[in-house]
Structure 1
Amino acid sequence: MTENVTVERTHNYLRQIKGSVLYKGIAVSASFLAIPLMISYLGVAQFGIWSTLLTIMSWVVFFDLGVGNGLRNKVAESLAKDLPDEARNYISSAYSLIAFIAVGLWLSFAFLSYFVSWQDVFNTTLVAEEELRYAVQVAITFMLINFWVGLITALLGALQKSALVSLGQLFTNVFALVVVYLLSLFCEGSISQLSWMYGIALLGGNILLSLWFYRKYKYLTPIFMLRRDHVAPLLSTGIQFFIIQLAVLVVFTTDKILITQLFGPEHVAEYEVVFKLFSIVTFLHMLISSPLWSAYTDAYHRKDTVWVVRMLRTQLKLYGVVIVGLLVLAFLAPFIISVWIGRDFSVSISLVALVALFVAITTWNNIFAVMLNGAGAVRVQLYTAVAAMVTNIPLALLLVKFFGMGVGGVVLAATLSLLFSAVLLPLQVFRLLRKEADLA
């Protein structure tokens, strides 16, 4: 390992942050502007249904068996070892495998969707059963196509080009904003119309990124092939990521389902608006931490422990800034929401405080999870994620039904379930780095 590699890794990390700040800033702004337009276009109750539908759509990405994350690590590792042909073989096998999975999922869903009462799922009679089914089918179809095309984000991460992922999100969010604005002017509120427009926006960004990527990195262009010696490592690493993703799915995305079933879809709007506001902090922190995943992979396989430790210390210092930001945002939240959404839209102060606490714990965990993901040492993270998955929903039901905590009880349950990771992930990082130092 040369000093030049270390310096270039650090410089590239800073470049990715700068690019992400610009692209992500515009993307987040467009996303925020779209919220009041969507509420105006659909109404509060239908917006709650749409928000819940987006949650169901997000579940699809977890059926890749962790192949995307496994691909990111394997490609980054291969390139760190100067093995581009091996990287291309991993890419080819990943695309081929995901294509088979996506087709199988689409056929299964197309059949099973007719046996599901979607009005019961969304706890509403406001939208006809046929329109709900059609909207879900359209949304899931686009998500499954993007399931395959979206592997480009893993590859951009592997090559430490994460700023371009934010550029794709910029395209998606700006396109969605323009479409929602036009729909609000010329059309009546329709979830099925929104499903089409959102799906096109989601797919378009990743298609543009793919065209750019394979034009620049022609030597990584995949071919149709499934090699067992490449699929097995992808799945071996990927299955662990998949279980972690599944646990994250339960903790992070079932809240809207629980709120819809326990309180009704109109209560999802309050939850969504508060979470959207605090996602400012999450987004900003992800801008800083996301580029580190593959940078950690590169440093770990080059035995550059000093660089890893230095970056972790920097992340912990920045966490202090995150806490201050959360406190300020919690204090200003009612005022910001009244200006953003309207004075008639009220939110609970207790919900604001609980969401701030949830984001604080999530951000803390992310500091250490990114390093462990990069190193491929995810066993402890897997155990803590499963523990969170098992405890989240029962704890939410306990807090809501027996302690009468309302919507805030759902958020507090998710927060408490993350405490396993908050304690054990830092310990795992310390042990891993100490082991590497002893071997050096």
Structure 2
Amino acid sequence: MEELVSKERTRNYLRQIKGAVVYRAVAMGASFLAIPLMIGYLGQEQFGVWSTLLTVMSWLVFFDLGVGNGLRNKVAESLAKNIKGEAGNYVASGYTLIGLIALGLWVVVTLASYIIPWQTVFNTRAISEAELRFTAQIVSFFILLNFWVGLIGALLGAVQKTSLVALGQLIANMLILGLLLVLTRTTDSAISWLAMVYGVSLVSANILLSLWFYRRYPELRPRPSLDRRHVSPLLALGLQFFVIQLAVLVIFTTDKMLITQLFGPQHVTPYEVVFKLFSVITFIHALISAPLWSAYTEAYHRGDFVWIKFMLRKQLLIFGVIWLLGIALLLSSKAIIVLWIGQELEVSWSLLAAMGFFVLIVVWNNIYAVFVNGIGKIRVQLYTAVVAMLVNIPLSVFFAKYLGLGLSGIVMGTICGLLLAAVALPVQVHRLIGARIKEQIA
């Protein structure tokens, strides 16, 4: 029986990858096409402001106290143990809790928007204070609405339907591209219009996924509920995820703000273009690793460590292939950028090389992080993430400003912060698996 379950888990894993390949490829294509349209619509400086604003406002989603990830694990665990009623109770409490958090954040952010000196924050006079405030309010509203509606992504992961998360990204990106084409033909340059297009597209995609999911899984339909028996486990695990998310927030999203303050918003554009180009690597690995989170959860609670070790070995072989892809992308990157954006955008080899190494470190860490996330053993990841968070900004400023390395120095500071996890996570995973196998034998 266990062998049949293991084979079906593997077949489903491969199905999710195949589905996600198509969806994410088209989604990324739409995203790549949208970048030059946005730059052409807004200009380099306003696009730099937009990119930074979107990054800053996306920080709001990290204030879910880790409930989304905790919900994914608890629902997957309940379904693995065939306790569907318990899974439904976790869904109800999760949606209610996130809805209340989102509402509170919206009130706070809206009030704060009238106090924040937006032109000073983004170091620009190209956009009026009123326009920046209005744009920030639009973006925050839609991000917080999606903060709640977007819980569907955690539930799709819990039932091992991660390819549909990629479908949601496809729908959102295609809507953005289509509406952006309309904007460029019907309106003058306005960052607030772009914010509206982005928000409507993002929320619409998750609403469509939710309609499909709850028709397929009616027993998991959310209802108003804040049962302490289900809220407490979500928060106990979720708060650890929250600290990790907060650290990831600092590590991965402060670079644009540092560039804006140290060099000016126009320098965000080459950074964003290079980051977007090398995100192809993390995109490919996400296709492969995303279905494994809840698959590891199920396998771990069933004691199927043979399957877990098999999958980890496969991930390491795939990492070798990704290294080769990274080298090929680095060597051809300048030619790709000229074809994609145009020759007028100056990009240094040092920035390209630093970004290439950065994404490879991210992929390596993610191989092991997906496993510990799936089984909820995230204490080591939490500690390494906090260390990385504390050193990221000082190191980035040191490399960029005091050593004169510019944009590549910003990326190098982030790389240094990730190195501890690159060593500690593999050690933890091998010890965890070895200990559980010894327990089974005993």
Normalised by the size of structure 2, how large is the TM-score? 0.99
Partner of 2:191: 191
AA in 1 matched with 2:271: Y
Shift of 1:400: 1.9
Deviation at 1:346, TM superposition (A): 2.0
2:201 match: 201
Cα deviation, 1:394-417, whole Å, max 9, x if unaligned, reads: 111111221111111110000110
Decide whether the 8 Å contact of 1:67 with 1:235 is kept in 2.
yes
Q: Given the alignment of the two structures, is residue 23 of structure 1 paired with residue 20 of structure 2, yes or no?
A: no
Which residue does the alignment assign to 1:403? 403
User: 2:225 aligns to what SS in structure 1?
Assistant: coil
Give the letter for the 1:196 counterpart.
M
- Could you say what secondary structure the match of 1:115 adopts? coil
Residue 70 of structure 1 is matched in structure 2 by: 70
The answer as to 2:97 corresponding to 1:121 is no
Q: Which amino acid in structure 1 is aligned with residue 431 of structure 2? A: R
Cα drift, residue 186 of structure 1: 2.1
Residue type matched to 1:390 in 2?
Answer: L
Residue 345 of structure 1 and its aligned partner are, at CA, apart by 1.6
Q: Which residue does 1:265 correspond to in 2? A: 265
**Structure 1 counterpart of 2:352:** 352
Contact 1:158 1:294 survives alignment (8 Å) = yes
**What per-residue deviation string (whole Å, max 9, x for no partner) do you get for residues 334-387 of structure 1?**
000000001222211110000000001000000000011011110000000000
Distance 1:38 1:231 in 2: 42
Correspondence 1:375 to 2:375: yes
1:182-208: CA deviations, max 9, x gaps? 211222111100011100000000000
Moved over 4 A (4+): none
- 1:230-285: CA deviations, max 9, x gaps? 00000000000000000000000000000001100000000000010001111010
Equivalent residue, structure 2, for 1:293? 293
Match of residue 43 from structure 1: 43
One-letter amino acid matched to 1:71? L
CA distance in 1, matches of 2:94, 2:226: 8
Residue number in structure 2 paired with 1:251: 251
Q: One-letter code of the match for 1:229?
A: R
After superposition, give the CA deviation of every residue in 1:93-133 in whole Å (9 maximum; x if it has no partner).
00000011011101111111111001111110110000000
Question: Aligned partners of 2:276 and 2:189: how far apart in 1?
Answer: 22
User: Do 1:27 and 1:174's aligned partners in 2 also have CA atoms closer than 8 Å?
Assistant: yes
Q: Aligned partners of 1:401 and 1:219: how far apart in 2? A: 56
Q: Distance in 2 between matches of 1:399 and 1:323?
A: 25
One-letter code of the match for 1:14?
Answer: L
Identity of aligned residues (%): 58
CA distance in 1, matches of 2:400, 2:28: 32
Amino acid at match of 1:357: F
Distance 2:107 2:384 in 1: 34
Deviates more, 1:349-358 or 1:397-406: 397-406
Please state whether the residue corresponding to 1:127 is helix, strand or coil: coil
* 2:50 is equivalent to residue 13 of structure 1: no
Q: 2:151 corresponds to which residue?
A: 151
Tell me if 1:220 matches 2:220. Answer: yes
Alignment match, 1:434: 434
Where 1:256 maps in the other structure, the secondary structure is: helix
Q: Secondary structure at the match of 1:114?
A: coil
**Corresponding letter in the other structure for 2:169:** Q
Code of the aligned partner of 1:103: L
CA-to-aligned-CA distance 1:411-431 (integer Å, 9 cap, x gap):
000011000100000000011
Paired with 2:63 and 2:431, the residues of 1 have a C-alpha distance of: 31
1:45: how far off?
Answer: 0.5
Question: Partners in 2 of 1:257 and 1:343 — Cα distance?
Answer: 25
Distance in 2 between residues matched to 1:163 and 1:405, nearest whole Å: 40
Do structure 1's residue 61 and structure 2's residue 61 form an aligned pair?
yes
Residue identity in the other structure for 1:224: P
- What CA distance in whole angstroms lies between the structure 2 residues aligned with 1:79 and 1:439? 24
Partner SS for 1:418: helix
Partner of 1:99: 99
Stretches of structure 1 lacking an aligned partner (at least 5 in a row): none
**Which residue does the alignment assign to 1:136?**
136
Counterpart check, 1:236 vs 2:236 = yes
Q: Equivalences for 1:155-174 in 2 at 5 Å?
A: 155-174=155-174
After superposition, the C-alpha distances for 1:298-337 in whole angstroms (9 at most, x for unaligned) are: 0000000000000000000000011000000000000000
Counterpart-to-counterpart distance in 1, 2:266 and 2:355: 18
Paired residue for 1:334? 334
Looking at structure 1, the residues matched to 57 and 152 of structure 2 have their Cα atoms a distance apart, in angstroms, of 19
Amino acid at match of 2:250: V
The residue type paired with residue 179 of structure 1 is L
TM-score in terms of structure 1 length = 0.99
Q: Distance in 2 between matches of 1:396 and 1:105?
A: 30
Tell me, yes or no, if the aligned pair for 1:338 and 1:346 is still in contact at 8 Å: no
Q: Distance in 2 between matches of 1:420 and 1:344?
A: 38
Aligned to 1:304: 304
Structure-1 separation of matches of 2:52 and 2:239: 27
Structure 2 Cα separation of the partners of residues 399 and 349 of structure 1: 16
Note the alpha carbon deviations across 1:2-36, whole angstroms, 9 max, x for none: 21111110000000000000100100000000001
Most deviating of 327-336 and 399-408: 399-408
Consecutive unaligned residues of structure 2, counting only runs of 5 or more, are none
CA distance in 1, matches of 2:275, 2:397: 20
Residue 210 of structure 2 is matched in structure 1 by: 210
8 Å CA contact 1:42, 1:189 repeated in 2: yes
SS for the counterpart of 2:303 is coil
Please state if 1:179 is matched with 2:179.
yes
Counterparts of 1:100 and 1:340, CA distance in 2 = 43
